[in-house]
Amino acid sequence: MAEIISFDDFKKTELKVAKILNAEDIPGKDRLYKLEIDIGEEKPRTLFAGLKPHYDKEFLVGKQIIVVANLQPRRIGSVESQGMLLAVDVDDKPILIFPEKPVPEGSLVR
């Protein structure tokens, strides 16, 4: 079991709905896609996600997903990943979490 955190610590996590605008292969990376997402901000963000063995790029584009919006950015090569998507881990395979129906990008998850 993971470390127990306080409710105040949990409230620091900003979960938002994002729409995948584009998914690209990354040369030399077998597991990662570079995703461009709309999170309801002025310009799109970039995320890296280890979905390549499990999802086709064409399936991902247009899908709404849940992301951690306020995660400290992390560089992969010369590009910065600006968040993390949420997925369920089943038998070491990611299962994406989608809203039940379309909602505005940037909507807070509570």
What structural domains and CATH numbers belong to the chain? Answer: 7-96 (2.40.50.140)
**Helix segments in 1-105, DSSP class H:** 7-11, 57-60
Give the pLDDT of residue 77.
83
Give the pLDDT of residue 78.
86
3-state secondary structure of 32: coil
Give the pLDDT of residue 9.
92
Give the residue ranges of the chain where pLDDT is below 70: none
Tokens coding 20: 């995948």
Give the pLDDT of residue 2.
86
Give the pLDDT of residue 66.
98
